[in-house]
Amino acid sequence: MSTHAHALDEHAHANHDPNLQHHFHTMQQQFDASKLGMWLFLATEILLFGVLFVGFGLSQARWPEEFKQAHHHLDRVLGAFNTVVLLVSSFTMVMAVHSAANSKRKATINYLVVTILCAVAFLVVKYFEYSHKIHEGLLPGQYFTYLANTDPMAKGNSVFFGFYFMMTGLHGFHILGGVVVLCILLAQTIKGRYSASYYTPVDLVGLYWHIVDLIWIYLFPLLYLIG
Q: Give percent helix, percent strand, percent coil of the chain, each to the nearest 5.
A: 80, 0, 20
**22 lines the binding site for other proteins (CB under 8 A):** yes
Q: Which is nearer to other proteins, 50 or 177 (CB)?
A: 50
Q: Which is nearer to other proteins, 114 or 170 (CB)?
A: 170
Stretch that binds other proteins, among 58-66, 120-128, 184-192, 205-213 (CB under 8 A): 58-66
What is the DSSP secondary structure assignment for residue 151, as one 8-state letter?
A: -
Residues contacting 204, CB < 8 A, separation 6+? 34, 35, 38
Stretch that binds other proteins, among 96-104, 123-131, 135-143, 200-208 (CB under 8 A): 135-143
Exposure letters 4-22 (e unless 16+ CB within 10 A, then b) = eeeeeeeebeeeeeeebee
Amino acid at 49: F
Q: Which is nearer to other proteins, 29 or 102 (CB)?
A: 29
What is the DSSP secondary structure assignment for residue 63, as one 8-state letter?
A: S
Pattern 76-105, other proteins, x by CB under 8 A: ------------------------------
Gap between the Cα atoms of 117 and 78, Å rounded:
17
Q: Which is nearer to other proteins, 47 or 77 (CB)?
A: 47
Q: Which of 214, 220, 175, 172 is nearest to 74 (CA)?
A: 220
From 78, 123, 125, 166, residue interacting with other proteins (rule: CB under 8 A): 166
Question: Where are the strands (E) in the chain, listed by range?
Answer: none
From 85, 93, 118, 159, residue interacting with other proteins (rule: CB under 8 A): 159
**2 lines the binding site for other proteins (CB under 8 A):** yes
**Contacting residues toward other proteins, per CB under 8 A:** 1-2, 4-6, 8-9, 21-25, 29, 32-34, 36-37, 40-41, 43-45, 47-52, 55, 58-59, 62-63, 139-143, 155-156, 158-159, 162-163, 165-166, 170
